[in-house]
Amino acid sequence: MTNTPRIAITGASGRMGRTLIGLVAASDQMTLTGAIERPGHDWLGRDVGTAMGGAPLGVTVSDDAANALKNAEAVIDFTAPAATLEFAAVAAQAGIVHVIGTTGMSDDEIDALDEFTDRATIIRAGNMSLGVNLLTQLTKRVAAALDEDYDIEVIEAHHNQKVDAPSGTALMLGEAAAEGRGVKLSEVSDRGRDGITGARKRGDIGFTAIRGGDIIGEHDVMFAALGERIILRHVASDRSVFARGALKAAIWGQGRAPGAYDMLDVLGLSDPA
């Protein structure tokens, strides 16, 4: 491990990829050593800084993940579920930290990551921001304190290009609420309402997804009962809050034993064993 960990970024041309590259390039705490894009992308073979419209950064965009990760100590991955599983195999082979911010992963895809935790330090979270992870803990506590007279609804809003719903953050909040109540989210989740759906089932945890414009990320957890509502809220106004959290995770993971971690571990918010 070096004093300034060497970082590779997947999905270099995407919103998060560009943000991450810019932050790493400007940091004196880490070094950019790899930028990865999908085969056929027009950035391939170009200096990533030039491709982003700025000064050269001395890193060529590649579709060869194994080569791009060869000299890296961490890879930060905000891509798609299938791609993330491929990167997990390469990261495990290289024995490096794999920070995963990819959303939309199924339970089976998340479980498939277990195959690599004996060789790689995997840090995965539905949201990398400090504020959201604090909100998760608050949601769990409030859900534990209130009974089923309080309906729980997770309401999330994102930009119109987001492809998955509910968001990974919304599901993370739903899991926290379910854990607080001592139930399994899969057994109480209410994700679809259209037409004559009947009355809301007592104890269900509902999800509402809004897509529009350039909304970066807004999440409310509503506890609604007769005569009152409690609303916990987080609003992200700058995408860099997620990137900074991911970079914090990449640094935190250096020297950690292989295994599965999340942002609560990184932030020291995990419940004691």
Q: Which of 41, 70, 159, 162 is catalytic?
A: 162
CB burial of 230-255 (b: ≥16 within 10 Å; e: otherwise) equals eebebebeebbbbbbbbbbbbbbbbe
Q: Which helix (H) or strand (E) holds 134?
A: helix 130-145
CA distance 111 to 18: 29
Nearest of 57, 8, 64 to residue 35 by alpha carbon: 8
Q: Which of 98, 158, 219, 248 is catalytic?
A: 158
**Active site includes 219?**
no
Residues 6+ apart with CB under 8 A from 139: 173, 176, 177, 180, 221, 232
Q: At what angle do helices 130-145 and 168-181 cross, to 10 degrees?
A: 30
Neighbours of 149 (CB within 10 A): 11
Block residue for tokens 């992870």: 133
Q: Are 74 and 4 in contact (CB under 8 A)?
A: no
Sign of CA dihedral 129, 134, 137, 142: negative
**Beta strands 217-225 and 228-236: pairing type?**
antiparallel
Sign of CA dihedral 84, 214, 13, 73: negative
CA distance 217 to 239: 8
Annotated catalytic sites, by residue? 158, 162
